[in-house]
Structure 1
Amino acid sequence: MPPLAVTAGEPAGIGPELLIRLAATPLAANFIALTDRSLLERAAARCNLAVELIDDDGAPVFERRPGQLRVRHIPLAVPEVPGQPDPANARHVLATLAEAADGCQAGRYAAVVTAPLQKSSINEAGIRFSGHTEFFAERAGAEVVMMLASPELRVALATTHLPLSAVPAAITRDGLGRVLRIVHRELQAKFGLADPRIAVLGLNPHAGEGGHLGREEIDTVIPLLDSLRAEGLHLLGPLPADTAFVPNQRERYDAVLAMYHDQALPVLKSEAFDRTVNLTLGLPFIRTSVDHGTALDLAGTGRGDPSSLIAAARMALTLAERRRAAALGAA
């Protein structure tokens, strides 16, 4: 299997130090870091870790000594200052993402894992940019869905980073149908679920309570779910969000579709913040990420917790191995 790529994210953020801590684990044998080599050297010094950085030459590597990490050097424009993002490095960050996406589509990498980046710094450089997910979707020409997953719970989002006032208008029959079909297909392909059960949350309190607390469920959600059930999708709901996560409900589904960002993610993150992974569903390649931001206040201290990055790396490797096994089985 080809190696997996991992990006360092915002150079002035916590990402480079988390990547160095990933290098100290056995998982690093499967990864190539896409970033500036000197950035990682400085991060290793801040973390007081001895890491041997090996320039990647494209040749297969079957053995790795502890503390080694392969690097595909993509230079910074200016040296980083921890905690102080510099728009001059925006094109470096985008170059790492482009190499990851193009390399996955060309078969050089089996998956990509991303550390957090600073969107504002890229926009301040005069480059239109709304996030990792949108960048990869545009690069691959794909329709995508954001999912966050822990060992206990998977949550997909019908809408992502929208003001709450804009959410109701964004919940359309066509859009919701597209999202649910992607989630259904990816639960089959990536997680090996032959008949995935998806719980769909209502938009309004008590899922609208028969129209007394809003009509979106009656006018949009319920007719769509009925139509998709006729296509063979196993859908529950719309369920009231305030009871959908109690233990006896969780036994009924494999994943949840939330209508907006903060409807379900607080439940997931409060339970498993250090074990939650961000996945982009719908891409022609595997992409996982941490579930947190750049932690500029911790950058440079060497005290960042790598748990989420390690969880993202582990999930990417598991999904890549599952995809490879399925391809070999089909052959």
Structure 2
Amino acid sequence: MNKQGQDHIYRIALDAMGGDFGPAETVKAAVEGSSAHNVDIVLVGEEKLLRSELDKYEYSSRISVMPSKGVIQEGQHPVKAIRSNPSASIVLANQLVLEGKADAVVSMGSTGASMASSTLAFGLLEGLDRPALGGNVFGIAPKVSILDLGSSVDCRPSQLVDFAVIGSVYAKIILKIDNPRIGLLSVGGEEGKGNKQTQETYELLKNRDINFVGNVEGFDIFLNKADVIVCDGFVGNILLKFGEGFLRAMEYIFYNTLKDSLTAEDSNLIKSRFRSLGSQAENGGGPLFGVNGVVVVGHGSSRADSIIKSFNVVKQCLELNLVNAIRQELTGTANPN
């Protein structure tokens, strides 16, 4: 799980049963993506189903299969499900990394299961109580990261500060933003606005050695007011899904208003453009922050092309040693230069 040279061939444990379209789309992604991104893929899942899907393709020895039994579904209690089914695909995928047989995990399956199993396998970075989900999620604001997006629906102010630190490191390392601006999502821009949680977090952030620019409002996400937006997972997940739904609705309205006067080429261009402005979670997902390993969690509705993009996210995290950079920042050992 340490940084290696950029010519190193990484091995990814892919939860092949995860997501709405596994294993058909996950297997397709593995076959097409292994060569496109120069990675080895271990497909973790029901062996008979995986072999049946693989038989549809010509594939190289870079694709291998790790048999598992069952899959943890959305709606199941993650920890209980893991304990009752320790051979589930996501559990064994994490086990491969723990044993040094893979460098990272990718899953489009249950977010709760990914969080719980990776936390149990790798542990959390020092000082953290739970992992976080986030990153640059909207194509309309591609350099703006939001944390948390649903992993922690009830947060203490200290945990929101941790999200700010993690988001700052992500923006520096992955998005190449010097001295990222941190904004706290609230109901008004003035100091003192918001509920008790927000007000207490504001005071903590003021005294933290990060570039805190104060409160920001929902519309500020698209107005370049901050590079990292901090909120709890309850608010963040609603914000994410509202944004996805709003842009889909706008695509529908725009297309149906103009469809009679558009060529097929123009119609496809409009659809493509709207989708590029929407959720980037559907285009490769993002890292699960705070666990002591590289885990990329994608959208449940991901098709093969989106899953393939997650392989590149993995490579970025490994080559840039994101986990260690976050660890150093949290413990105060980061190199100021």
For this structure pair, what is the TM-score category when the shorter chain's length is used for normalisation? Answer: 0.5 to 0.7
Q: Which runs of 5+ in 2 are unaligned?
A: 1-7, 248-276, 326-334
Q: 1:198–1:257: 8 Å Cα contact kept in structure 2? A: yes
Give the alignment partner of residue 70 of structure 1, picking from 63, 85, 88.
63
Q: Does 1:312 align with 2:310?
A: yes
Q: Which amino acid aligns with 1:34?
A: V
Q: Deviations over 1:55-95 (max 9, x none)?
A: xxxxxxxxx5xxx6522321436xx9xxxx9xxx9777854
For the structure 1 residues 185 and 29, does the alpha-carbon distance in structure 2 shift closer, same or farther, using more than 3 Å as the test? closer
Q: Distance in 2 between matches of 1:21 and 1:283?
A: 28
Is contact 1:75–1:92 with CA below 8 Å preserved after alignment? no
1:186 deviation in Å? Answer: 4.3
Partner of 2:332: none
* SS of residue paired to 1:262: helix
Write the distance in 2 (CA, Å) between the matches of 1:313 and 1:256.
Answer: 25
Structure 1 residue 290: Cα displacement: 1.6
Identity across matched positions, percent? 13
- Partners of 1:93 and 1:314 lie apart in 2 by 29
2:283 is the counterpart of 1:275: yes
- Output the CA distance in 1 between the equivalents of 2:196 and 2:190: 6
Q: How many residues align?
A: 262
| Equivalent residue, structure 2, for 1:122 | none
- Tell me the SS of whatever aligns to 1:280: strand
Alignment of 1:49-88 (within 5 A): 49-52=56-59, 64=60, 70-76=63-69
- Residue of structure 2 equivalent to 1:266: 241
Equivalent of residue 159 in structure 2, options 175, 182, 202: 175
Cα deviation for residue 16 of structure 1 reads: 0.9
**In structure 2, what is the equivalent of residue 239 of structure 1?**
216
1:17-62 residue CA offsets vs partner (Å, 9 max, x unmatched): 11122112433651222223321233356xxx4243xxxxxxxxxx
Whether the 8 Å contact between 2:191 and 2:214 is mirrored in structure 1 is no
- Note if 1:114 corresponds to 2:101: no
Matching of residues 138-287 of structure 1 within 5 Å: 138-142=120-124, 143=128, 144-150=131-137, 152-158=142-148, 160=150, 170-188=154-172, 193=177, 195-202=179-186, 205-206=187-188, 211=193, 214=195, 216-218=197-199, 220-228=200-208, 231=209, 233-241=210-218, 243-246=219-222, 249-250=223-224, 252-259=225-232, 260-266=235-241, 269=244, 270=247, 271-273=277-279, 274-275=282-283, 277-287=285-295
The equivalent of 1:27 in structure 2 is: 36
What do residues 82-123 of structure 1 show as CA deviations (whole Å, max 9, x unaligned)? xxx9xxx97778543333323334433222111324x8xxxx
- Unaligned runs of 5+ residues in structure 1 are 53-63, 120-129, 294-303
- TM-score by length of structure 2 reads 0.63
Per the TM alignment, residue 239 of structure 1 is displaced from its structure 2 partner at its CA by 0.4
Give the structure 2 partner of residue 123 of structure 1. none
> Equivalents in 2 of 1:24, 1:276: separation in Å?
15
TM-score normalised by length of structure 1: 0.64
